[in-house]
């Protein structure tokens, strides 16, 4: 039987195709346990997708309009050892239905797969079909190496992670080189040399889209990078940036709610420290299994507050729902009673018991763990001044975890060395073009994003009330005006890029 998905997860699930990324340091506050990087919030979500209602494909595009292909992809683009030439089958999906064709140089919208199977994206990233139709564009989705069906030959996901040789090739520089090859090959096969390519992505995929435009401007004419936290590297933003936004989200909705949450952490510790304290907490929070440490509860609550802030989407606005639960305190007006009421409100129903284990049930490192332990080191910690208990980022712990899990040291400076990020306004002002950085400012990841226009064609399109990747998901009848306006603005910018592109095509012919 499919797991029944809680109501708020259903709301959140609307946004799931645009995957949440980056390691959050969820602290094991039990001092005897080491702090270690954990799954991203969405990594956790992945496990709960069974039975989730998903937005359907837009009316006129059936599954049959999406054709799956495989590209014989080079394992290592940057090496010339015999093994580097090994290839694997990389999956990509094309919808030709709306494409006006190569003859008129009709555009190609290329979705840069993120850290998930592309099955989660095709038909679900509403921006793609909706605008492909509008622009007469070809719709292309490329799966990220080592996810979904794009595995190195003969390996499953787990096997490729366990093999120290094979996992070495699993990183973002190789991934965008894959995208370059697939796009060039497809354009060649379609004789579509003059078709401009706009790359689109969300979250980590948004960062890949922006990076792709910067590294391969000869292949992508422009990029829409939705909710891309491309400044979450190498100390470009303070380590508590994510939590500062979560804090602001809660404060804006209800100061008393924020205050209750803020005061709940020492209260949990106080109760846990009592004789039979953990048993009291287990009872209070109706946990399915007796708690072994207060950290289990705190991780669970931190997870809930993070998810609702990140996916604080209309029309429900999960932060409001959770805060309503906390403020009304239907399950008791003491601090922990209010917090539990928030949990119930989050799930949208009163349950027999609550399973605190929102993360992977095994301790096996995940694909995303590998990525954050190699090139995508995200120094995210928690500061005292946020809604969460303090838990600073300690690189040594991070490194130790990575060494233990994978036997190699992470490279914390590589992302900024290869992709940049330092002085981004100045640098992109004089050397970049044609990128839209879209963000919802309620999304905690927006704190690692570009939120101001950099130049005439590197533009920030933010909405005050928006959440993670909201703009690139499918339109709904009840979308608020500000969301519709954000999408319109993006389309207008892309239209302007295209106009200039076609002019240039003649000018430089």
The contact set with a copy of itself (CB under 8 A) reads: 76-82, 84-85, 164-165, 167-171, 173-174, 177, 180-181, 184, 214-219, 221, 374-375, 406-409, 411, 413-414, 416-418, 420-427, 429-434, 500-501, 504-505, 507-508
Exposed e or buried b per residue across 471-505, where buried means at least 16 C-beta atoms within 10 angstroms of its C-beta:
bbbbeeeebeeebeebbebbbebbeebbebbeeee
Q: How far is the CB of 146 from a copy of itself (least distance, A)?
A: 12
Nearer residue to a copy of itself within complex by CB, 103 or 425: 425
Q: How far is the CB of 412 from a copy of itself (least distance, A)?
A: 13
Q: Measured between alpha carbons, how far is 103 from 340 in angstroms, rounded to an integer?
A: 61
Q: How far is the CB of 207 from a copy of itself (least distance, A)?
A: 15
Exposed e or buried b per residue across 15-54, where buried means at least 16 C-beta atoms within 10 angstroms of its C-beta:
bbbbbbbbbbbbbbbeeeeebbbbbbbbbbbbebeeebee
Query: Tokens representing 2?
Result: 């499919």
Tokens 């519709």, residue located: 484
Of 410, 332, 319, 317, residue with least CA distance to 365: 410
Nearer residue to a copy of itself within complex by CB, 109 or 414: 414
Nearer residue to a copy of itself within complex by CB, 391 or 434: 434
Q: How far is the CB of 55 from a copy of itself (least distance, A)?
A: 34
Q: How far is the CB of 142 from a copy of itself (least distance, A)?
A: 15
Q: Measured between alpha carbons, how far is 130 from 474 in angstroms, rounded to an integer?
A: 8
Of 267, 227, 264, 252, residue with least CA distance to 317: 252
The pairing of strands 138-142 and 435-440 is unpaired
Nearer residue to a copy of itself within complex by CB, 117 or 416: 416
Nearer residue to a copy of itself within complex by CB, 166 or 268: 166
Nearer residue to a copy of itself within complex by CB, 85 or 255: 85
Nearer residue to a copy of itself within complex by CB, 196 or 318: 196
Q: How far is the CB of 427 from a copy of itself (least distance, A)?
A: 5
Nearer residue to a copy of itself within complex by CB, 30 or 180: 180
Q: Measured between alpha carbons, how far is 342 from 354 in angstroms, rounded to an integer?
A: 13
Give the single-character DSSP code of 389. Answer: P
Q: Measured between alpha carbons, how far is 461 from 467 in angstroms, rounded to an integer?
A: 13
Q: How far is the CB of 171 from a copy of itself (least distance, A)?
A: 6
Q: How far is the CB of 463 from a copy of itself (least distance, A)?
A: 25
């Amino acid at each position: 039987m499919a797991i029944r998905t809680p109501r708020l997860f259903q709301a959140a699930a609307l946004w799931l195709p645009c995957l949440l990324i980056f390691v959050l340091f969820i602290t094991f506050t039990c001092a005897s346990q080491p702090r270690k990087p954990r799954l991203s919030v969405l990594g956790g979500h992945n496990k709960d997708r069974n039975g989730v209602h998903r937005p359907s494909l837009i009316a006129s595009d059936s599954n049959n309009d999406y054709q799956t292909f495989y590209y014989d992809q080079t394992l290592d683009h940057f090496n010339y050892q015999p093994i580097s030439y090994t290839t694997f089958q990389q999956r990509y999906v094309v919808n030709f239905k709306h494409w006006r064709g190569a003859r008129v140089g009709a555009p190609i919208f290329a979705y840069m797969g993120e850290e998930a199977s592309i099955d989660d994206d095709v038909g679900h990233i509403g921006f793609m079909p909706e605008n492909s139709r509008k622009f007469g564009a070809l719709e292309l989705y490329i799966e990220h190496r080592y996810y979904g069906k794009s595995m190195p030959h003969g390996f499953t996901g787990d096997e490729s992670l366990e093999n120290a040789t094979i996992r070495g090739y699993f990183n973002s520089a190789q991934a965008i080189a894959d995208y370059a090859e697939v796009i060039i090959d497809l354009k060649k096969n379609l004789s579509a040399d003059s078709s401009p390519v706009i790359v689109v992505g969300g979250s980590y995929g948004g960062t890949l889209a922006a990076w792709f435009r910067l590294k391969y401007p000869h292949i992508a004419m422009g990029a829409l990078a939705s909710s891309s936290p491309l400044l979450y590297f190498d100390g470009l933003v303070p380590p508590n940036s994510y939590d500062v936004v979560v804090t602001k989200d809660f404060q804006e909705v209800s100061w008393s709610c924020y205050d209750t949450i803020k005061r709940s952490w020492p209260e949990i510790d106080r109760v846990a420290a009592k004789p039979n304290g953990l048993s009291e907490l287990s009872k209070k929070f109706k946990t399915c299994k007796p708690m072994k440490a207060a950290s289990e509860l705190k991780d669970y609550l931190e997870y809930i507050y993070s998810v609702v802030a990140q996916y604080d989407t209309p029309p429900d606005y999960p932060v409001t729902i959770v805060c309503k639960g906390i403020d009304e305190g239907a399950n008791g007006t003491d601090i922990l009673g209010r917090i539990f009421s928030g949990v119930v409100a989050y799930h949208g129903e009163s349950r027999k018991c609550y399973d605190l284990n929102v993360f992977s049930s095994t301790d096996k490192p995940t694909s995303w763990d590998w990525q954050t332990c190699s090139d995508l080191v995200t120094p995210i910690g928690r500061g005292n001044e946020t809604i969460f208990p303090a838990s600073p980022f300690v690189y040594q712990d991070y490194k130790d975890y990575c060494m233990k899990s994978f036997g190699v040291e992470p490279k914390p400076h590589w992302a900024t060395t290869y992709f940049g990020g330092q002085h981004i306004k100045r640098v992109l002002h004089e050397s970049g073009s044609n990128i839209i950085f879209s963000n919802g400012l309620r999304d905690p990841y927006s704190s690692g994003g570009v939120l101001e226009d950099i130049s005439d064609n590197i533009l920030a399109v933010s909405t005050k009330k928006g959440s993670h990747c909201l703009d690139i998901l499918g339109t709904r009848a009840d979308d608020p005006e500000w969301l519709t306006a954000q999408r319109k603005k993006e389309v207008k910018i892309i239209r302007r890029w295209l106009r200039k592109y076609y002019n240039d095509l003649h000018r430089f012919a």
